[in-house]
């Protein structure tokens, strides 16, 4: 009969801190507000970090590299380390179950961070981290000895693709405001997700694919509703924007142009 392990003494489970470890002062200065839970902060060495205020504490994420700041085997991440090993060993390289579990856990850290980037509107960094996790899926799919381990990650590809497509599109809209180009980009994204190879016996994959296509279609409809259908509509939109900025001189200019347009004109 297998001997059961003795339960650990609870003292072994609790680390000992010092008075200087108390973070009450930080929590007092940053009160929890469910509408403003994320902030970017300059660390002592000048680097920027991302902080999340929770009801009972604070999480901190590195902006670059692994979100927790660790450097496994001196590399930026486990993915970087295993890719180095794959290049070194060549065809002999393979990922066992433990390796895949390690890479999956690391991918979840990037998932948490790219959701925060999306939340604060930093679409470039969201696109960067989602692209990174897509490379993770490709790598595991190529080298994993266990199909189950590879499929466990692959089932989330439609969702990660959706987040990558949306973040890249919103970044470009933010930069140039070209909604028609954004719609074309989203339409191509829909086709990419729709044409993904089937994942056998995966309800999660099918659910994420259906949900992702719907999300992209909804965003296309939203963008289409914002495109002026005529010169008159465009002038009215510019006039309204000028009024919102309290630039009344420009607003009057657009109003005069509207008045000079022939009645019923939509050109």
The pLDDT of residue 154? 97
Tell me the pTM. 0.81
120 φ/ψ angles, rounded to the nearest 5 degrees: -95, 5
* Sequence-separated contacts (24+) of 63-71 with Cβ below 8 Å: 63/125, 66/106, 66/109, 67/109, 67/110, 67/112, 67/113, 68/109
Percent of the chain with pLDDT over 70: 93
Q: What is the pLDDT of residues 40-88, one digit of tens each?
A: 999 999 999 999 999 999 999 999 999 999 999 999 999 999 999 999 9
The pLDDT of residue 14 is above 90: no
CA distance 85 to 65: 19
Confidence of residue 232 (pLDDT cuts 50, 70, 90): confident
pLDDT band at 20 (very low <50, low <70, confident <90, very high): confident
Tell me the pLDDT tens digit for each residue of 131-187: 999 999 999 999 999 999 999 999 999 999 999 999 999 999 999 999 999 999 999
SS3 of 100-151: HHHHHHHHHHHHHHHHHHHHCCCHHHHHHHHHHHHHHHHHHHHHECCHHHHH
Mean pLDDT score, 191-206 = 96
Mean pLDDT for the chain overall:
92
pLDDT tier at 18 (50, 70, 90 boundaries)? confident
- Cα 65 to Cα 72, 97, 106: the distances in Å are 11, 24, 11
**Alpha carbons 172 and 53: distance in angstroms, whole number:** 29
């Amino acid at each position: 009969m297998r001997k059961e392990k003795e339960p650990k003494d609870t003292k072994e489970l609790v680390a000992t801190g010092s008075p200087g470890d108390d973070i009450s002062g930080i929590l007092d200065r940053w009160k929890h507000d469910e509408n403003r839970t994320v902030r970017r902060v300059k660390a002592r060495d000048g680097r920027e970090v991302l902080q999340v205020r929770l009801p009972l504490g604070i999480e901190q994420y590195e902006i670059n590299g692994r979100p927790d700041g660790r450097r496994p085997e001196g590399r930026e991440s486990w993915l970087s380390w295993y890719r180095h090993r794959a290049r070194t060993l060549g065809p002999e390289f393979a990922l066992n179950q433990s390796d895949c579990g390690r890479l999956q856990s690391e991918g979840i850290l990037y998932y948490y961070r790219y959701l925060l980037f999306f939340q604060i509107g930093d679409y470039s960094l969201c696109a960067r981290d989602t692209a990174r996790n897509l490379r993770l899926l490709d790598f595991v799919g190529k080298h994993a000895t266990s199909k189950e381990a590879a499929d466990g990650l692959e089932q989330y590809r439609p969702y990660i693709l959706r987040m990558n497509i949306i973040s890249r599109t919103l970044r470009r809209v933010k930069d140039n405001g070209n909604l028609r180009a954004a719609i074309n980009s989203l339409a191509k994204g829909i086709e990419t997700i729709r044409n993904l190879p089937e994942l056998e016996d995966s309800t999660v994959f099918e659910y994420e694919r259906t949900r992702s296509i719907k999300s992209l279609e909804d965003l296309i409809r939203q963008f289409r509703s914002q495109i002026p259908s005529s010169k008159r509509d465009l002038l009215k939109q510019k006039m309204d924007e000028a009024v919102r900025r309290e630039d009344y001189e420009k607003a009057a200019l657009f109003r005069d142009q509207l008045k000079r347009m022939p009645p019923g004109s939509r050109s």
